[in-house]
Amino acid sequence: MTALRPLSGRSRSLRCSSEKMEGTGSWDVLEWTKLDSASWSGSYSNLDCLLESERLIFEACGVILINTDEAGTLLLSNFRILFLSEGTRKLVPLGTIPFVAIEKFNKLAPKVQSNKYHNNENAPTRLLQVTGKDMRIVVYGFRPGTKQRHTVVDTLLRCNKPERVWDLYAFTCGPSQFGNTNPKERLLNEYFRLLGKSSQRASMNMIEDGSFTLSNDLWRITNLNSNYDLCQSYPFALMVPKSISDEELLQTSTFRARCRLPVISWCHPGSGAVIARSSQPLVGLMMNMRSNSDEKLVASFCTQLAGHKGARRKLYIVDARPRKNALANGAKGGGSESSSNYLQSEIVFLGIDNIHAMRESFSRLRDYLDMHGTTSSDGTSSFLRHGGWTWGGGNLSSMSASVSVLGDSGWLSHIQSILAGVAWIAARVAMESASVLVHCSDGWDRTTQLVSLACLLLDPYYRTFSGFQALVEKDWLAFGHPFSDRVGMPNVSESGNFELPIQSSSARSFPSSPVRQSPGSAAAQSSSSSYGLNNYSPIFLQWLDCISQLMRMYPSAFEFSPTFLVDFIDCLLSCRFGNFLCNSEKERQQCGISETCGCIWAYLADLRSSSGTSHVHCNPFYDPSRYDGPLLPPAAALAPTLWPQFHLRWACPVEPNVTETEDQCRAMTVKYSEMKKEKEEAERKVDELSSAMESLNEELLNERDISRAARESAKRATKERAVISRAVQSLGCKVKFTRNGDCTVEVEDGPQKCSHSIPQKQSEDNTTDVSESISSVTEQNVCEAVCPLRTREGTCRWPDAGCARIGNQFLGLKTNFEAFDNLCVYDSYFTAE
């Protein structure tokens, strides 16, 4: 096999003749025989679509994407296959897929020759089919006579299933800007919320010293599994009944498969009802094995009903398996409970199939969509298949056959079974205040689906972004869903650096024999390794499909949108982040995932932060006030359909446009937000104008008061002047007032005349006070001030003149208008001349 060579000046790559390239999808315009060592080398190393620490290792020009009949360039990086359109050099989503998201790949020979390449010697004869875990089937066509397909296959063999978990891109990229806080802290915070202790916040110091063992009246948190000695696939902290001691928990763990004893996953804050989870009991073939400690632990979930003195709540033990499967497991040491051994209990079987049935169903659904979609992996539309229109009429047998194939896949039937079981569990808890214990065989696949979906229906918090994260981290990650096995990734046991004993191949087959085990047995508790075996199964994807069905029934109950779920599963399948690596919390701790890998939650939150509630991940119809309680869907509503955003995005890329309504609503939300901001700005300006008008109104009132005071002062001055004039004239003087307000007093005695001007004085309020002006003058001898007969020595040259006598009388006159008012001198006393 040809070893891969990094792009360099010496690397040989096929060159496309750009002068002749006028369109896409044409093989005739490609010059396949010409090689140029420098034409394409390194030309894509600076692509905007490359992620951090992603580097290209190979490129092949002139590859055909058979699904869409499009020519382009196929690039291989250390993370994924990239396909760039030849015409636009833009990334083609259908042909771009991460290595670990590939379920299988194989070489193909062309079966059907399209009309386009009929009798064309340049037609593609070397095909590579890539089947993805995300419902797509992609076929790449390579030109014969080249080693492009050989090199791509060699790369896929090495990168699709790396030998060690540390070879995954998540470790190459590192935490970057999407750092991951310790998931143990988040788990404890969720426990605190369930116990009603939300005021408490978990910390690393609390985890290290074991001080997180809080409790309420009924339940408590135990640190018995802090070193994973009790159960290696359980979290370090468990929520259990307060009445059960740690010693009894140890005894109970030996009676459950893989030591997964019954523990609390969720508790109702009002009624006290709980949803608990476990694995199957080890009752044996004759169903006669019992455990007093297990029966006591399960009975402790039947606490007293609130408001019913002495009455205890009922307990439902829900076995997710078909009854026959549960009985068959008895031959391997497992089995199911007997209601006669457990107080106030009733056993219910839901009949949900195992992981192998789900895998086969998913594969058949994928083939159905590829066969009957608008685009297919063989490049033929379903409208032209079988010589007629599949859906357009004229070929009813083909239409009936395709519908039959969809039904035969069984996928929608499995979804309906899960939803029916979840709705039943939620109704028992919400309507009867009953407690429910859920288990299957090992308690990490069907059990996790049922428990987490029931919590989603009962608790509105889990229908928000933060609650959804808490739910996934609690019930899926902390409680040991084997993601490495189910997604098909390497796990810690196969990396060889940790001393984790591996079971033999017979013991590792699923379901494994649940023999009686003692706590701390690593060989007995380790999850079945699927790497190299066929334990891959889309269990988590199926759970997300169930959520999409609930979102269709309750479009206003979820804060997140179906697009968020699609992007979330894409990130998970790509293994770009470390949250879902390994099979358990213990293995992720051993690998140091939280310190060395990026966090998917931080990445998704960063995407939303740029657009706020208008982001495509946010549900524009979300109304938390409308759905602030449990969701209890009726049985008639549990009729699932294909999930358009996920199932149809590759085979029927036009059909997922059913989200156009959401897009329009989201655009209206953005417009509404902008108009709201404009309204707030207008209201702010109105408030400013109102304040300015109030200020101007106050100033106007002040001016009016000042004007009123000025008019009153003018009237007063007029009266003053008239009164003073009459008083002075009565003494034989004439008083004249000029237009500018000056006052002139004339004293006449025979032929002699003297005059004196009295200037006005401004009072403190800027009004003219005539009385003060005259008073200041009358304090002096008028003759002394203005008489020309006055000598330098201060004597009068005419002492017998009348002016001197009049002046002596004038000195005692005080022209104060207030004084005249006090004397009650009427204006009519002074008659007008």
Helix (H) or strand (E) holding 76: strand 70-77
> What is the separation, in whole angstroms, between the first and last Cα of the chain?
138
Query: In terms of C-beta density within 10 A (0-12 exposed, 13-18 middle, 19 or more buried), how is residue 697 classed?
Result: exposed
Dihedral through CA 484, CA 490, CA 493, CA 495, nearest 10? -150
Contact 513, 332 (CB under 8 A): yes
Asked if 126 and 142 touch (Cβ cutoff 8 Å), the reply is yes
Cβ count within 10 A of residue 47: 15
Annotate 189-228 with b (16+ C-beta within 10 A) or e (fewer).
ebbbbbbebeeeebeeebbeeeebebeeebbbbbbbbbeb
* Rounded-to-integer distance, Cα 534 and Cα 575, Å: 19
Evaluate whether 456 touches 627 at the Cβ level (below 8 Å). no
Query: Cβ of 418: how many Cβ atoms within 10 Å?
Result: 25
For CA atoms 168, 173, 178, 180, give the dihedral sign: positive
Which residue is associated with the tokens 């608990």?
A: 276
Question: Please, is 755 exposed, middle or buried when counting C-beta atoms within 10 Å of its C-beta (0-12, 13-18, 19+)?
Answer: middle
Query: Which SS3 state, helix, strand or coil, does residue 148 take?
Result: helix
Which residues, including other chains, have CB under 8 Å from residue 384's CB and lie 6 or more apart?
none
- Secondary structure, 3-state, 723-756: HHHHHHHCCCEEEEECCCCCEEEEEEECCEEEEE
For 350, half-sphere exposure in the C-beta direction (CA atoms, 13 angstrom radius) is: 31
Whether the Cβ atoms of residue 131 and residue 143 lie closer than 8 Å to each other: no
3-state DSSP assignment of residue 385 = helix
* Distance of alpha carbon 64 from alpha carbon 70, whole angstroms: 6
**Residue type at 725 in one-letter notation:** S
Angle between helices 411-432 and 539-553 (to 10 degrees): 60
| 3-class DSSP assignment, residue 343 | coil
Catalytic residue among 61, 440, 546, 743: 440
Distances (CA, A) of 394 to 244, 284, 397, 543, 652: 69, 58, 9, 38, 21
Using CA atoms in the order 817, 820, 826, 829, what is the torsion angle rounded to 10 degrees? -100
Q: Mapping DSSP to helix (H, G, I), strand (E, B) and coil, where does residue 508 land?
A: helix
CA distance 479 to 466: 19
CB 495 within 8 A of CB 581: no
Cis peptide before 511 (omega within 30 of 0): yes
Q: Identify the H or E element spanning 7.
A: none
Q: How far apart are CA 509 and CA 511, in angstroms?
A: 6
DSSP per-residue codes, 622-670: --TTTS-S-----GGG------HHHHSTTT-TTGGGGGHHHHHHHHHHH
**Kind of pairing between the strands at 274-277 and 435-439:** parallel
Active site residue 440: yes
Q: Mind telling me the catalytic residues?
A: 440
